[in-house]
Amino acid sequence: MSEPATQPDINTTLRDMAETRIRSGAAQASGNHSLGIDALNLLHRLSCNPDTASDALQLLHELQVHQVEIDLQHEAIREHEHQLIDELAHYRDLFENAPAGYLLVDLEGHIV
C-alpha cells in the first residue's frame, strides 16, 4: 500500500535529475533513439506558426526530458543487473566451496 505513495517521489526525483542534466549539458545522447516522422511533422507545424512556437519548444523540451529519464532508468537497470550478477557469483562460490555438503531438494522432496 505504501508503494504507490513513493512512486511519485521516484518520478519527481527522476525528472529533476533529467532537468539538471539537460540544463548543465551533461545529458548524453544514447544514439539509440530518434523522433518519428509524425513527431517531427508536429514540431515543424507548431514551430512555423508564431502563435504555437512556444508550444513546440515546450513539446521538444518534454521529449528531451523524457528521453533523459529513460536513459537514467536504463543506466540504473544496467547497474542493478551487474550487482545481481556479482551477488549470484558470490553465493554460487560460497555454495560450491562450502566446508559442509549441501543437498538441493525439489518441492516433492527428491534430491536434485
For the chain of 112 residues, list the mean pLDDT of each consecutive stretch of 10: 59 79 67 64 77 79 84 92 97 88 87 87
Please report the pLDDT score of residue 27 as a whole number.
63
Please report the pLDDT score of residue 29 as a whole number.
55
Please report the pLDDT score of residue 1 as a whole number.
46
DSSP 112: -
pTM above 0.85, yes or no: no
